[in-house]
Structure 1
Amino acid sequence: MTSTEPALCNMGGAMYGLQLPFQIILISLIGQLGFSARPVVTFIPNWKKIHIGQTITMTCNVEPPASFYHWYRNNNWISTEKNYVIVFARSGDSGDYKCWTRTGGTSEIVTLSVISDPVILQAPLYVYEGDNISLRCSSPSGSVVTQTIFYGNNQTISKLTTNDTLQLKYTDLKATYSCSRQVLTTIAHIYIAETTISFTENAGTIQVTFTPDWNKLLTGDNITMTCHGGNYWTYQWLQNDTLVAEGLTYTITSAQVGHSGIYQCRTSHGDSLPFRLEVSNGEPISSFP
């Protein structure tokens, strides 16, 4: 933890030992088995480059959800909300972002670039092996464009007249991409933008989310766990190191005591962090933040 990140003290309204009968408690193994889920930052829209004046929402994702969050840009504290929203981006919003939670620690640094150029080539924040991706050759709102050409490794791969987005399959991905656009002002200009595709390491970034999105459910309710990864990955669900299901999601219908245990999503590109599911048979159990 850097000197800019908050010390761990009695903050955030966390409560321990709260008695909650007839509950399913999803708790991380923090303090019990030594595991914690590291936060992961995501962008909406999912571009790491945007134009001046655009809006972008950054979300600090962590399981289980935190009671409070801290955001930093270039190591300077900026917010305490789960979502950090930039409504009208300026060049000063460019920089290295990260979020911090008490249980998960500090996320990986992600970089946002706010650009004033007439053409930028937008790529997703993360690209995992097995993903299909979209690239967008973008101009500021109101620009008049007559043609867009995409290049991969300096070879022309697509010419578009009405669309600015190129859909790419994982098997077709190349290392470098560029695009050119003819933009009409008083005269026509052709502008070129570039980007490089690099794969994101999966360690610590494979996330599991829950529906309903809270960690206390009445006994007998349903819960769906979703593992987030690439389009062509394989998914398995483990309970106490035993395979219980395959597929992107795992739904427990009318949860019973036997569903209690340590769960983990195992993918062809890595595993999620383990988490505990406890199902009460009516006896009070303790809730952990």
Structure 2
Amino acid sequence: MNNFKVGEGQTLIIRSARPVHSGGYNCETDTGGMSDVVQLDVSFNFVILQVPSSVHEGDSLSLRCHCKPEIEGNRTIFYKNGEIIKSSARDSVLDLGIADENDAGLYECKKSIYFSGEAEVFVTELFTVPQIKINPHPVIEGDHMTITCDTKLSPHRETTELQFAFYRNGHNVQGFSSSNQYGVPSAQLEDSGNYTCEVQTPSGSVRKRSRRSYIWVQGIRNTVFNSITLETINIANTNETTATNHPFPFIRVIVSLLSICLITAALVFCHRDRICLLLCSRHRRAVSESSNTGNDEYELYYNLNH
């Protein structure tokens, strides 16, 4: 208690509690592990409201209006933030069920109209609101896309098991499981959309959903055009930056030009059918015009000689 040793063994029993026994208690194992501190308050009041020392979302929460035996039979009234929430002639326990953040507040209980006790209840967040994280970013058509549902457990409940589910445009794409990741082996354009994820405890007593996150799967052609733009910008700035930041500025310029050539070749390969049709069409038109011109010259020559 308060860093003083007060007993040994797994259980500490206080036979007749007094205010002097109030303080912070914790225990230590033979291996040196130390527990969290639990606060004990011993009061001389006729009525006290007993509440759990620590409450997390999803815990079962009950408050007890404890009093001296001589006034036990009186009516018990419970208040929250100054408003009556329960009145009973027999029951001295207020059962709030599964705790959530709305249960936090200042509680008070009264026995008849003469004695009362109060206590404040704090509900600790069990885990944070999840967030969507995407890898890689940006996503290009054909990439292995991995979406992670990221959340953090309360330090005092790190062993709590959580379940995760994923949604695209409001439709479930992966049901609740212990995995916080959703993977797409080869992302396609139709995999674009608004993604959300949901986290819950196995019993479903605590459930939270992330904000919507739009994920755009870029097509390969868009990526090629973006690459050309970036390379053009890099070359435009080469004269100003590479001479001072790179020991071989001309090598960098050559590499950039080769990159543009390779990208251009890739575009030509992708559109080779259209290019061939265009060239053939122009060739036919040129041949046709040449043939018509030849006929006109022959007719003119024939008329002049006859």
Higher helix content, 1 or 2: 2
Higher strand content, 1 or 2: 1
TM-score (norm 1): 0.43
Q: Which has the larger radius of gyration?
A: 2
Name the structure, 1 or 2, with higher relative contact order (CA <8 Å, separation 6+): 1
